[in-house]
C-alpha cells in the first residue's frame, strides 16, 4: 500500500498546518471564548477562501474537489490549532456533501457555491432532538403536507453552528403512519426563513468557541424545491452522511491528541526533576511511546476510512472503527499528556487543560462510542452470516 500523499494532498495539509500555527494556535484561548465570536467567524471565512469549506465538492459548484483524504488531513491540522474551528469546518463540509450527494441540480447551483465561498458563514445539520439522539428514527419534528409543499414544526437540539449557520439541513417526519425511520424526509432551508428561531447557546465543557444551540421551527413553510432527495427517504440520507461525518470527527480527535502529545514531549525535555530532564525517566518515556504508537494506529485507521470513501468503496465500518479508536485513545493521550505536565497541566496557563476539555466530546457527538461498537458488531456479524 502506498502511503505517500499526492501533490494536492500535501499542499492542502501544508496550508492547513500554516493556518493553524499562525492564526489558530496563538489565539486558541481567545477563540474558545464566545465573546470573541467575530474573530472566530473571521477565521471561518478565511478557511472558506482557502477552499476548506468544500474540500469534497466538485469544482463546478465552487468546491476544491480534493477528496476525502485531503479533507481528513486538513481537519487534523486545523484541530491541532483550534478544535472549535475544526468542528465548524467539519459540519459545514458535511452539509455541503449532503447537498452534493442527493440535491437537485438547482439546489447544488444555489447552495454549494455559497457554502464553499463563505458567503454562507456555516452550515448546520439539524437532526438531533430531545428524545432522538442515538436513535434519530424517534424524532418528533414534523413536516405537514400543504398545497405548495410542507410546514415544518418542532425543535432540534445541540446543533453545531446554530447561532450563525445560514443554511440548514433539516430532518422531519412526513409520514406519521410509517414505521420509525421509514417516514422521514430531508429538507434544505435557509436560516432566515420565517418561523425559524435560535434558542440559547449551550454553556459547554469544551469546544466553546463553536456555538451549539437549539433550533426551533414554528410552521416554517418549505416548497417541493426544498426537499432533498425523495420524500420519506431522509433517514437513509442521515445514516449515510453520518458515516462520512465520523471521518471528520476522527480526524479532529487525532489532531487534538497529536497536539497534546507534541506539547508533552517538549515539556518533558525541558522540565527538570532530580537533577535531570523528566524525559530521561523510563516512566515518562513509556507514556510517550504508547501515545506515539496509538497516534500512528489512529492515523492509519482514519486514512483507510477516508481512502475507501474517496474510492467509492464501502466505508461505514471503517469510519466507525476510526472514530471509536481516535476518540477513545485520543482522550487517554490527552490525559496522559496532562499527567506528564503534573500540576502545571491542570492550570489554564498551559494548553493541556483546554485540549482535555475539547477532546471529551469526540466520543459522544456524531454517534457515541457505544453506538460505534454497535455498528461495527452488526456489520461484522452480517458479513459472517453472508
Q: Which residues are catalytic?
A: 366
Cell of 88: 465548524
What secondary structure, in 3-state letters, does the chain show? CCCCCCHHHHHHHHHHHHHHHHHHHHHHHHHCCHHHHHHHHHHHHHHHHCCCCCCCCCHHHCCCCCCHHHHHHHHHHHHHHCHHHHHHHHHHHHHHHHHHHHCCHHHHHHHHHHHHHCCCCCEEEECCECCECCCHHHCCCEEEECCCEEEEEEEEEEEECCCCCCEEEEEEECCCCCCCCCCEEEEEEECCCCCEEEEEECCCCCCCCCCEEEEEEEEEEEEHHHEECCCCCHHHHHHHHHHHHHHHHHHHHHHHHHHHHHHHHHHHHHCEECCEEHHHCHHHHHHHHHHHHHHHHHHHHHHHHHHHHHCCCCCHHHHHHHHHHHHHHHHHHHHHHHHHHHHHHHCCCCCHHHHHHHHHHHHCCCCCHHHHHHHHHHHHHHHHHC
CA distance 13 to 28: 20
Cell of 176: 406519521
What secondary structure, in 3-state letters, does 368-384 show? CHHHHHHHHHHHHHHHH
CA distance 330 to 362: 9
Cell of 381: 456479524
CA distance 307 to 94: 17
Amino acid at each position: 500500500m502506498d502511503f505517500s500523499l499526492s501533490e494536492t494532498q500535501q499542499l492542502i495539509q501544508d496550508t492547513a498546518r500554516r493556518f493553524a500555527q499562525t492564526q489558530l494556535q496563538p489565539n486558541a484561548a481567545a477563540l474558545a471564548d464566545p465573546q470573541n465570536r467575530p474573530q472566530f467567524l473571521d477565521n471561518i471565512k478565511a478557511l472558506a477562501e482557502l477552499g476548506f469549506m468544500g474540500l469534497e465538492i466538485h469544482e463546478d459548484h465552487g468546491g476544491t474537489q480534493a477528496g476525502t483524504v485531503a479533507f481528513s488531513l486538513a481537519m487534523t491540522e486545523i484541530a491541532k490549532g483550534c478544535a472549535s474551528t475544526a468542528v465548524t469546518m467539519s459540519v459545514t463540509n458535511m452539509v455541503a456533501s449532503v447537498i452534493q450527494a442527493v440535491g437537485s441540480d438547482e439546489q447544488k447551483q444555489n447552495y454549494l457555491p455559497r457554502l464553499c465561498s463563505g458567503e454562507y458563514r456555516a452550515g448546520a445539520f439539524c437532526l438531533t432532538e430531545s428524545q432522538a439522539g442515538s436513535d434519530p428514527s424517534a424524532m418528533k419534528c414534523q413536516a405537514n403536507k400543504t398545497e405548495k409543499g410542507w410546514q415544518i414544526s418542532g425543535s432540534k437540539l445541540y446543533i453545531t453552528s446554530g447561532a450563525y449557520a445560514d443554511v440548514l439541513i433539516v430532518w422531519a417526519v412526513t409520514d406519521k403512519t410509517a414505521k420509525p425511520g421509514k417516514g422521514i424526509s430531508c429538507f434544505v432551508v435557509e436560516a432566515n426563513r420565517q418561523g425559524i428561531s435560535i434558542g440559547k447557546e449551550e454553556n459547554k465543557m469544551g469546544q466553546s468557541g463553536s456555538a451549539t444551540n437549539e433550533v426551533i421551527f414554528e410552521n416554517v413553510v418549505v416548497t417541493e424545491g426544498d426537499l432533498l432527495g425523495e420524500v420519506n427517504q431522509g433517514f437513509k440520507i442521515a445514516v449515510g452522511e453520518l458515516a462520512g461525518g465520523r471521518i471528520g470527527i476522527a480526524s479532529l480527535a487525532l489532531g487534538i491528541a497529536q497536539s497534546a502529545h507534541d506539547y508533552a514531549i517538549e515539556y518533558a525535555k525541558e522540565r527538570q526533576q532530580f537533577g535531570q530532564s523528566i524525559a530521561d525517566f523510563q516512566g515518562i518515556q513509556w507514556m510517550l511511546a504508547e501515545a506515539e504508537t496509538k497516534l500512528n494506529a489512529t492515523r492509519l485507521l482514519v486514512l483507510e476510512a477516508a481512502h475507501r470513501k474517496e474510492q467509492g468503496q464501502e466505508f461505514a465500518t471503517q469510519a466507525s472503527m476510526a472514530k471509536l479508536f481516535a476518540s477513545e485513545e485520543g482522550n487517554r493521550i490527552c490525559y496522559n499528556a496532562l499527567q506528564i505536565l503534573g500540576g502545571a497541566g491542570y492550570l489554564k496557563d498551559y494548553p493541556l487543560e483546554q485540549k482535555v476539555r475539547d477532546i471529551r466530546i469526540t466520543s459522544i457527538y456524531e454517534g457515541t462510542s457505544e453506538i460505534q461498537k454497535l455498528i461495527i458488531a452488526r456489520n461484522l456479524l452480517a458479513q459472517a452470516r453472508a
